[in-house]
Chains A and B, each alone.
Chain A
Amino acid sequence: MSAQVNFKTRDKKKKIQINNLKTILVTVAAVVFAIIFLLPTILTITNSFMSASEINANYGSIFATTEKGGKVFISKTVNLKFIPDMVTFSQYFTVLLKSPEYLFKFWNSIIYVVPIVAFQLAIATLTSYGFARYQGKVKNAIFFAYIIMMLMPYQVTLVPNFLVSKAIGIYGTKWAIWLPGIFSPFAVYLLTKFMRRIPTEVMEAASIDGADEWYIFTRVCLPLCKGGIASIAILVFFDYWNMVEQPLILLPDSDMHPLSVFLSKINAGEISLAFAVAVIYLVPPLLIFLYGEDYLVEGISYQGGIKG
Chain B
Amino acid sequence: MFTQIRNNRSLHKLSALQKKKLVSWLFLLPSLIGVTLFFVAPFMVVIYYSLINNPIQKEFVGFRNYVNVWKNAAFQQAGSNTFIFSLMAVPLAVLLSLFLAAVMESRIPFKSYFRTFFLSPLMVPTASVVLIWQVMFHQNGIVNNIVSVFGGGRIDWLKSDKAYIVIVALFLWKNLGYNMILFMSALASIPKDLLEVAALENANKFQVFWIVKVRYMSSTILFVAIMSLISSFKVFREVYLMTGDYPYQTLYLLQHFMNNTFASLDYQKLSAAAIIMFIVVTILVYAMYAIENWFGKDLEG
Contact = CB atoms under 8 A, between A and B. Distances in A.
A154 B258 CA distance: 10
B13 to A, nearest CB: 12
A126 interface: yes
Contacts of A155: 233, 254-255, 258, 273-274, 277
A161 B42 contact: yes
A306 B103 contact: no
A304 B255 CA distance: 29
A207 B17 CA distance: 11
Interface string A280-308: 01100110110001001100111111110
Name, among B145, B237, B242, the residue most crowded by chain A CB atoms within 10 Å (CB to CB).
B237
Interface of B is mostly: helix
B42 A164 contact: yes
Contacts of A183: 31, 34-35, 37-39
A153 B182 contact: no
B185 interface: yes
B140 A279 contact: no
A274 B282 contact: no
A23 B106 CA distance: 8
A260 B125 contact: yes
A263 B277 CA distance: 29
Contact of B173 (A40, A145, A148): A40
A103 interface: no
Nearest to B181: A300
Contact of B125 (A33, A123, A242): A242
B132 A77 contact: no
B123 A238 contact: yes
Q: Is the interface of A mostly helix, strand, loop or mixed?
A: helix
A59 B43 CA distance: 46
Interface string A146-166: 101101111111111111100
Interface in A25-72: 26-27, 29-30, 33-34, 36-38, 40-41, 43-44, 47, 59, 61-63
B219 A78 contact: no
A179 to B, nearest CB: 6
Nearest to A145: B40
Most A C-beta atoms less than 10 A away, residue of B39, B220, B267, B285: B39
B163 interface: no
A163 B45 contact: yes
Given A23-B106, A282-B125, A304-B223, A124 B140 contact: no
Contacts of A23: 106-108
A140 to B, nearest CB: 12
Contacts of A59: 135
Nearest to B125: A242
A15 interface: no
B289 to A, nearest CB: 8
Given A179-B38, A296-B119, A303-B223, A40 B132 contact: yes
A264 B226 contact: no
- B interface, size bucket: 35 or more
Contact of B118 (A33, A43, A212): A33
A263 B186 CA distance: 38
B125 A281 contact: yes
B242 to A, nearest CB: 7
Contacts of B32: 142
A62 B281 contact: no
A126 B37 CA distance: 18
B255 A154 contact: yes
A156 B234 CA distance: 12
Contact of A127 (B20, B28, B259): B28
A286 B128 CA distance: 11
Interface in B86-139: 100, 103-104, 106-109, 113-136, 138
A76 B140 contact: yes
A8 to B, nearest CB: 20
Interface string B32-55: 101101111111011001000000
Contacts of B177: 37
Contacts of B285: 151
A65 B141 CA distance: 13
B236 interface: yes
A258 B184 CA distance: 35
B23 interface: yes
Contact of B114 (A30, A303, A305): A30
Contact of A293 (B46, B116, B173): B116
B30 A123 contact: yes
Interface stretch (A82-90, A93-101, A222-230, A243-251): A243-251
Nearest to B238: A244
A185 B222 CA distance: 20
Given A37-B177, A59-B135, A278-B127, 12 more contacts: A33-B103, A126-B28, A130-B27, A152-B281, A157-B39, A179-B34, A183-B35, A242-B126, A264-B242, A301-B181, A301-B182, A306-B222
Interface of A: 19, 22-23, 26-27, 29-30, 33-34, 36-38, 40-41, 43-44, 47, 59, 61-63, 76-78, 80, 123-124, 126-127, 129-131, 133-134, 136, 139, 142, 145-146, 148-149, 151-164, 167, 179-180, 182-183, 185, 188, 207, 212-213, 217, 238, 241-242, 244-245, 248-249, 259-261, 263-264, 271, 274-275, 278-279, 281-282, 285-286, 288-289, 293, 296-297, 300-307
10 contacts: A22-B106, A37-B118, A126-B28, A131-B28, A151-B285, A152-B278, A163-B46, A183-B37, A245-B234, A304-B220
